[in-house]
Amino acid sequence: MPLCLFRDHLVAPSWLIGVMILFTLAAHAQQKIVWSDQEKPIVEQIRTLRKLDDNVRAKTTSDLALQIRQLPVVPNKLVLAEALANLSTEGDFGRETLQEVTTTLDTALREQPPREQKGQPNSLYVELASLVRYEHMRASSDSPQFAAAMAKLEADDANREKADFTLTDLQGKQWRLHDLRGKVVLVNFWATWCPPCRKEMPDLDALYMKFKDQGFVVLAISDEDATKVMPFISQRDISYPVLLDPGRKVNKLFKVEGIPKSFVYNREGKLVAQSIDMRTRNQFLEMLAQAGLQ
């Protein structure tokens, strides 16, 4: 799953706290990290990636991956590889581009293996494992931490397969996940202040309208207060149910460490697909196809 350190959202304390890439790199600067002349243009381009048209962004991302890979083996190299990886799954910039990013992170980790975090695989290995497991990228890591990260993701998915919850939507209706067996369900975690969340909402709503008569249900879950969510939704033409998760109990149940994040269950209640970031219409369609919706 993408590390939230380079996101626009706050989903949990410690390393799960996400901030915009600009502020994150600025924070590194405040920690007296000195960017070399070779690194400074890379930092600036990463800061402005979201401002680019998707086609330009794909080419720029691929070029940045190669530039980072060519940097000397210094701590900043791993920081930049992580930053780029966090932004490279926000949509569909092509499998070749994402593979370049994955290879760069894989290379940086082999050059400078970080320590475990309290007996758990370092979050950078979890990032790499997520790219391999969920985006079907290739990595050559033989690190025990990478193997542990892959095992962690498998265990997390097994728990999500069994997960159940009951939440209330903005109209006061209660929804229980297990009561929706027989339908295809997409559980989407989002927030009003998350740009990638906002970007994917129109496509998600269009697909909801297309497939709802075939038994397709979207449960969009926000951990924000109703006073923030209701005005936001009222200003947008969103048709699918929006649920509130006070206290983040369901976020924690699903181990949501970054948003947007979506999970698709088939009619038998089996978890068949999930995203680690924002999805485009075509990417959502690929996920729904795994549950039999065409």
Spatial contact of 258 and 9, defined as CB atoms under 8 Å apart:
yes
Domains of the chain, first to last: 4-157 (no CATH), 166-289 (3.40.30.10)
Residue 215, Ramachandran bin (φ over 0: left; ψ between -120 and 50: alpha; else beta): left
CB proximity list for 3: less than 8 A, separation 6 or greater: 15, 82, 85, 86, 123, 124, 126, 127, 257, 258
CB proximity list for 264: less than 8 A, separation 6 or greater: 184, 185, 186, 187, 271, 272, 273, 274, 287, 288, 290, 291
Q: Is 237's pLDDT higher than 80?
A: yes
Query: pTM for this structure?
Result: 0.86
Q: Is 1's pLDDT higher than 90?
A: no
Spatial contact of 149 and 156, defined as CB atoms under 8 Å apart:
no
pLDDT at residue 31, as a whole number: 55
Q: Is 206's pLDDT higher than 80?
A: yes
Q: Is 282's pLDDT higher than 70?
A: yes
The pLDDT-based confidence of 242 (bands split at 50, 70, 90) is: very high
SS3 17: strand
Spatial contact of 211 and 143, defined as CB atoms under 8 Å apart:
no
pLDDT at residue 29, as a whole number: 45
The pLDDT-based confidence of 257 (bands split at 50, 70, 90) is: confident
Integer Cα distance of 98 and 89 in angstroms: 7
Q: Of the candidates 21, 16, 31, which has an alpha carbon nearest to the alpha carbon of residue 82?
A: 21
Query: What burial class does residue 163 get, using C-beta atoms within 10 Å of its C-beta: 0-12 exposed, 13-18 middle, 19+ buried?
Result: middle
